[in-house]
Amino acid sequence: MAQYAVLDDNNKVINIVESDADNAEESWILLDYSEQEAIRDAATTLEEAANAHFEVATIGSTYNPDDETWSAPVATADENKLQAQISLVSTDWTQLPDCGLTDACVALFATYRASLRTIRQSDVDENVTWPEKPAEEWA
């Protein structure tokens, strides 16, 4: 048994199925991660293994038959807005006067949160450039 990606007419993954080779349809793309697993297994440290980049097929990914690579699914505007809202809520505390962070850190979080608000107000269906969350610096 192996995993196969089922694609629509635009090479977008609409399903991932398990099948033996005899029953797999000709249009399905075999998902063979053995090379990537070998790279992971050859890692000498946990950090190397964790930092190894793997291209995998997921529902919504797009397959490029020319170079046999996968592109990540493009986030919708609603998904981007939701993620921005979640990030805003999780950092609300950084703007309280007695939060315990340094003044410089509070300012960095204010800038970060302003970028999140811009994303939240955008109606663009694409992968946006997310701001980097500042490290917490305690006073």
- SS3 label, residue 102: coil
Please report which confidence band the pLDDT of residue 33 belongs to, taking 50, 70 and 90 as the band edges.
Answer: confident
Please report which confidence band the pLDDT of residue 136 belongs to, taking 50, 70 and 90 as the band edges.
Answer: very high
> Cβ distance 84 to 119 under 8 Å?
yes
Judge whether residue 115 has pLDDT over 60.
yes
The whole-number pLDDT of residue 58 equals 87
> How confident is the model over 71-87, as pLDDT tens digits?
888 788 898 999 999 99
Two structure tokens written together for 111 = 């800038």
Please report which confidence band the pLDDT of residue 69 belongs to, taking 50, 70 and 90 as the band edges.
Answer: confident
Please report which confidence band the pLDDT of residue 28 belongs to, taking 50, 70 and 90 as the band edges.
Answer: very high
Q: What DSSP character marks residue 22?
A: T
> Cβ distance 87 to 116 under 8 Å?
yes
pTM confidence score: 0.58
Rounded CA-CA distance 101/57 in Å is: 41
Please report which confidence band the pLDDT of residue 55 belongs to, taking 50, 70 and 90 as the band edges.
Answer: low
Write 75-81 long-range contacts (CB < 8 A, 24+): 75/125, 75/126, 75/127, 75/128, 76/125, 77/122, 77/123, 77/124, 77/125, 80/119, 80/120, 80/122, 80/124, 80/128, 81/119, 81/120, 81/122
Rounded CA-CA distance 11/66 in Å is: 12
Q: In the predicted model, what is the mean pLDDT of residues 33-60? A: 70
Q: In the predicted model, what is the mean pLDDT of residues 115-126? A: 89
Q: In one letter, which amino acid is 22?
A: D
Rounded CA-CA distance 83/69 in Å is: 27
Q: In the predicted model, what is the mean pLDDT of residues 10-24? A: 94
